[in-house]
Structure 1
């Protein structure tokens, strides 16, 4: 059924039914992987693969500055004017219009733009975390681009970043940046207990060394995922290693549940956006699922959580 919502939607939490933009979502995921792999090639390794991620901006997504020797390159998706901008610290710039085109064509344009800027980059030209991956230069299957739904997705990323920042500020232990992992196109934020974790068994579509580095220590991780054909967008929260009793924990809001097949708690995006207070519903989900992980895994919450946040939870304004 076609969406009844107006095509132009600037509200904070716009509708994002997968059926309306599945092909665009799949294409955007692979385009983001091309840009993300450039960042992977240029940035020095960082723990938990934090060196490869993208970040929401007031216009789209950015790599932030990357270094090729002493030269500096930055690549930005602009989802307002719908253009990919590649620019250097020398003031040079190349633009690739974002419009319906094959992955192969997009890949060729990006590689050519890098050459024209004098910042050539070689990447492994095969997508990850997708079924039946097609090399970038051979992919003429994925070619959809609906600017309206891309803009809706980006606006959700921005608003999610806003709420995640509030959640992130309540923790003084090790916590990740709020960043977009281009493999699955999900925005994530991860809290760490500080304790090491057992070796991860691996994830299909990713090298073992990537997942074992990502999960080298105990985590409680949350994020937003735009969905896939047959799966609507959702917020997720999981723990690794998964503590005994975690799936049975009571969490909020009422629309949240543990999805056994995924091994994580989920809150459907549509349920969140339709709630009386979407931001509060999302914060309830983030806090209650983290508390489920920290409690069942016996984290030292007194040492890890912000004193001001602990005071507010206890019903006092006193700050330790």
Structure 2
């Protein structure tokens, strides 16, 4: 069996307590961004981004200032900074209830006035944040390894994104389901989404899936160590039977293709395998649904490419 230190092993079952706690931590920070940031189509304004130390909100306008909240999975702190030179640091750990109270107090000290709906989304058992003393486990090494999985996923998803010239999302982290995703769009409207996500208004899904799309990403589910996934909405006839690289398969219950992370990690060339999966799934979605051709990227002159 091959091992690749760049693609770390982290069994889903081994880090369930930390994962569930971290999920709620990121929901709290994500909801702060959702309230403060200007709305963007498909809820792109609420997402987090992978960075060199963890996950970050990026710049959030707050009056005439900018706020940034960042999970640092090297030093295991939440860092808050504002463009007027102020900053606060919060050590990660403890119950969700404590983390929620500490984040709200931290923002108040930075003169950031924000009130969120303090209940998680897209989970079946939605314990309000102020009452959640159930989720209180934070094992630093598990959080670090998950971030390193996201680093690898972010790299390959960005490369795939660059191949599409049409409307395409950033590579970003949706805190509702803990997935890192990138989405391509055909340019045509889609049927109204039926909704149905747990503890999530149907209107959220209607906006997110307003246009015909093909989406792919990574999340800590679908395999022993997580999985890369891909789906189309609406799924065209024949999509589930499309030919895929060895190791990938269609999950009828989820309605999407899965490529287990452990299969990728043990492959001779993990980047190539994920790249082939992303290319095959996006090609199947666009071909079977007869997407209009996307504009072609202009050639980069040799003198510019060398600068």
Bin for the TM-score computed over the shorter chain: over 0.9
Query: Retained in 1: the 8 A contact 2:80–2:87?
Result: yes
Structure 2 partner of 1:248: 241
Structure 1 residues 61-87: Cα deviation after superposition (integer angstroms, max 9, x where no partner):
111111121122110100001100111
Query: Retained in 1: the 8 A contact 2:81–2:87?
Result: yes
Measured on the aligned residues, the alpha-carbon RMSD in Å equals 1.6
Q: 1:87 to 1:307 in 2, by over 3 A?
A: closer
Structure 1 partner of 2:262: 270
Q: Runs of 5+ in structure 1 lacking a partner?
A: 1-8, 309-320
**Deviation of residue 231 (structure 1)?**
6.1
Of 10, 24, 46 in structure 2, the residue corresponding to residue 30 of structure 1 is 24
Residues 96-135 of structure 1 correspond to what in structure 2 (within 5 A)? 96-99=90-93, 101-135=94-128
**Deviation of residue 11 (structure 1)?**
2.8
Q: 1:265 to 1:306 in 2, by over 3 A?
A: farther
Q: Runs of 5+ in structure 2 lacking a partner?
A: 300-307
| CA distance in structure 1 between the aligned counterparts of 2:279 and 2:298, rounded to whole angstroms | 15
Query: Retained in 2: the 8 A contact 1:111–1:120?
Result: no
Query: Retained in 2: the 8 A contact 1:196–1:216?
Result: yes
Q: TM-score, normalised by structure 2?
A: 0.93
| CA distance in structure 2 between the aligned counterparts of 1:276 and 1:304, rounded to whole angstroms | 34
Query: Retained in 2: the 8 A contact 1:193–1:304?
Result: no
Structure 1 partner of 2:288: 296
**3-state SS of 2:196 partner:** coil
Of 185, 195, 215 in structure 2, the residue corresponding to residue 192 of structure 1 is 185
Residue correspondences, number:
296
Structure 1 residues 187-232: Cα deviation after superposition (integer angstroms, max 9, x where no partner):
000000101111111132221221111111110000100128x964
Of 277, 280, 293 in structure 2, the residue corresponding to residue 285 of structure 1 is 277
Q: 1:143 to 1:305 in 2, by over 3 A?
A: farther
Structure 1 partner of 2:167: 174
Structure 2 partner of 1:39: 33
Q: 1:306 to 1:265 in 2, by over 3 A?
A: farther
2:229 equivalent to 1:236: yes
| CA distance in structure 2 between the aligned counterparts of 1:10 and 1:154, rounded to whole angstroms | 16
Q: 1:306 to 1:203 in 2, by over 3 A?
A: farther
| CA distance in structure 2 between the aligned counterparts of 1:297 and 1:190, rounded to whole angstroms | 16
| CA distance in structure 1 between the aligned counterparts of 2:100 and 2:251, rounded to whole angstroms | 36
Structure 2 partner of 1:53: 47
Residues 57-96 of structure 1 correspond to what in structure 2 (within 5 A)? 57-96=51-90
Query: Retained in 2: the 8 A contact 1:236–1:264?
Result: yes
| CA distance in structure 2 between the aligned counterparts of 1:118 and 1:54, rounded to whole angstroms | 22
Structure 2 partner of 1:160: 153
**Deviation of residue 307 (structure 1)?**
7.1
**Deviation of residue 159 (structure 1)?**
1.4
